[in-house]
DNA sequence: CCAAGATACTGCACTGATTGAAACTTTGCA
DNA sequence: TGCAAAGTTTCAATCAGTGCAGTATCTTGG
């Protein structure tokens, strides 16, 4: 896993970033579907055809950092602290995800939220990515706790936590709340999920 | 909500069914992306344009019964038994979903599974549909338990249960297990999620 | 420093999904 | 029967995505 450093690699990185920035700017300016690939490519001074050697499709530009984030989460699970419980580990992973910062990510996070809420195609892509991530996280969890966690348990743990958090966050945003409130809702939902549902529906 | 019965309505229903059957047959025969809308339309003796007055897109044919199933689930939540706990109600809903039968649904369930596992576009659509359903189920849950369940709790309950079940099912299928085994995995995952994750990762 | 060889970029043609508009046909009903 | 609504078809246009062939640009071994 060596870090590329040649001229070629630097140029690629610059173009990639130009594509992301241009695309996100255009998307928020004129709307996602109103923006054509030709315009995005033009904004980064490459041909339309070249766009596809950087991203597999129009939607993927928006999730340019998904790979890195997943990689980080997987690394955290792989390097779990000895004696740490599954719940505690997953809590750490979620927390790290919430804090993720990055030149682009930080600056564009809010716009991306709005885009995702507004554009069905992006919602679908987001869910798909998130789901694939869950699958890989669950697998990693199995490997990290080979004696204690079987595949179904791992799926239950990851799916339940992420499922609860995601739904709570989106519903919060749909209700018109701020991204901060959404994060709070997500954490609370994750806690509820972690604690189990048995007690719900009878006033405590 | 009256049931249409005229010639017009019967004809529409017949065409719709023809489109679904033709599409599913072609999909499993030659593959999803290898099948064009023109072929699907031809298989039902309508023009390509007309296809779009029955379905919003190519992917939607595959999920022709999603609406009905959601409607049923919402009705069950709306008519919850007095005194029934959230967990018990949701368990009933899941169970009813698992038993869903229908001329087409039953016959095509397995093929649909295979398609969904194989075609990314369908996975994405499925997740999106499922997510929207979750959102509406959570809202219904809020209304059904106005005094005991706030939005975040409802999201946590639905998201956690569905998230766990879905991930477990898909991972089971990915592992090459049968649809029956996948259902079993899903139920077990849902139980684990319902019971909470606190205890995981320490040998019981 | 230079020639291969590998990579990346471009233009072009083409398939196929999706949409809008206008003309036409069928069905429901007075 | 004859009109209006609903449903279809035809036609044209847009745009995402893909395959291909040729060109331009790095990287590397010598």
pLDDT in tens, B35-64: 999 999 999 999 999 999 999 999 999 999
Domain membership of residue A130 (yes or no) is yes
Give, as one character, the DSSP assignment of residue A35. Answer: S
CA of A170 to nearest chain B CA: how many angstroms apart? Answer: 9
Tens of pLDDT along B11-24?
999 999 999 999 99
Which helix (H) or strand (E) is B188 found in, with range? helix B179-195
Instruction: Residue A81: give its domain's CATH number.
Output: 1.10.357.10
Tens of pLDDT along B137-166?
999 999 999 998 999 999 999 999 999 999
One domain, residues B48 and B83: no
* pLDDT given for residue A71 in this prediction: 94
Give the span between the Cα atoms of B137 and B161, in whole angstroms: 12
Domain membership of residue A203 (yes or no) is no
Mean pLDDT of the region B180-187: 91
One domain, residues A20 and A46: yes
One domain, residues A102 and A166: yes
How big, in percent rounded to 5, are the helix, strand and coil portions of chain B?
75, 0, 25
Q: Which two tokens stand for residue B135?
A: 């959102």
One domain, residues B162 and B121: yes
One domain, residues B47 and B144: no
CB under 7 Å from strand C? A 8, 11-12, 15, 45-50, 53-54; B 6-9, 11, 35-38, 48-49, 52, 56-59
* pLDDT given for residue B132 in this prediction: 96
One domain, residues B104 and B189: yes
Q: How confident is the model at residue B4 (pLDDT cuts 50, 70, 90)?
A: low
One domain, residues A123 and A180: yes
Average pLDDT, chain B: 90
- The residue with tokens 């490997």 is A143
pLDDT lower than 70: segments of chain A: 1-4, 198-204
One domain, residues B97 and B30: no
In this complex, the nucleotide whose C1' atom is nearest to the CA atom of residue B34 is C16
Instruction: Residue A52: give its domain's CATH number.
Output: 1.10.10.60
Strand D close to A49 by CB, under 7 A = yes
- For B128, the closest of A124, A174, A202 (CB atoms) is A124
Q: What is the domain extent for residue A11?
A: 7-56
Domain membership of residue A202 (yes or no) is no
One domain, residues A178 and A120: yes
- Domain count of the fold of chain A: 2
What own/partner pairs with CB < 8 Å and gap ≥ 24 does B42-49 have?
A: B43/B18, B43/B19, B44/B15, B44/B18, B44/B19, B45/B18, B46/B15, B46/B19
One domain, residues B52 and B111: no
One domain, residues A49 and A81: no
Mean pLDDT of the region B70-90: 92
Q: How confident is the model at residue B3 (pLDDT cuts 50, 70, 90)?
A: low
Distances (CA, A) of B26 to A160, B18, B46, B107: 36, 12, 16, 15
Give the span between the Cα atoms of B32 and B123, in whole angstroms: 12
Domain membership of residue A187 (yes or no) is yes
Note the pTM of the prediction, 2 decimals: 0.91
Distances (CA, A) of B204 to A93, A170, A195, B186, B199: 24, 35, 17, 22, 8
Query: Of the candidates A70, A71, A82, A92, which has an alpha carbon nearest to the alpha carbon of residue A148?
Result: A82
Domain membership of residue A204 (yes or no) is no
Bases along strand C below 7 A from a protein CB: 7-13, 15-21, 27-29
Total Cβ atoms within 10 A of residue B64: 22
Domain boundary among B56, B81, B96: B56
One domain, residues B163 and B80: yes
Best of B85, B143, B167 to substitute, by most chain A Cβ atoms within 10 angstroms, is B167
Tens of pLDDT along B87-120?
889 888 888 887 887 777 777 888 888 999 999 9
Domain membership of residue B203 (yes or no) is no
Distances (CA, A) of A35 to A45, A55, A111, A116, B101: 16, 16, 15, 15, 43
Domain membership of residue B204 (yes or no) is no
Q: Which two tokens stand for residue A116?
A: 């995702």
Domain membership of residue B52 (yes or no) is yes
């Amino acid at each position: 896993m060596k870090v590329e450093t040649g001229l070629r690699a630097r140029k690629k990185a610059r173009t990639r970033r130009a594509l992301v920035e241009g695309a996100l700017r255009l998307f928020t300016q004129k709307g996602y579907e109103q923006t054509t690939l030709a315009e995005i490519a033009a904004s980064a001074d490459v041909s339309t055809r070249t766009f596809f050697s950087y991203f597999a499709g129009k939607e993927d530009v928006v999730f340019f950092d998904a790979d890195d984030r997943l990689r980080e989460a997987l690394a955290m699970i792989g390097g779990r602290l000895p004696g740490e419980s599954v719940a505690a580990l997953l809590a750490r992973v979620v927390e790290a995800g919430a804090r993720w910062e990055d030149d682009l990510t930080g600056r564009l996070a809010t716009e991306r939220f709005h885009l995702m809420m507004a554009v069905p195609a992006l919602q679908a892509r987001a869910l798909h990515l998130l789901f694939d991530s869950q699958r890989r996280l669950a697998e990693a969890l199995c490997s990290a706790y080979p004696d204690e966690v079987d595949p179904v348990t791992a799926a239950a743990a990851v799916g339940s936590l992420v499922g609860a958090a995601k739904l709570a966050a989106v519903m919060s945003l749909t209700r018109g709340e701020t991204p901060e409130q959404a994060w709070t809702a997500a954490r609370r939902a994750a806690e509820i999920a972690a604690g189990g549902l048995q007690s719900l529906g009878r006033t405590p």
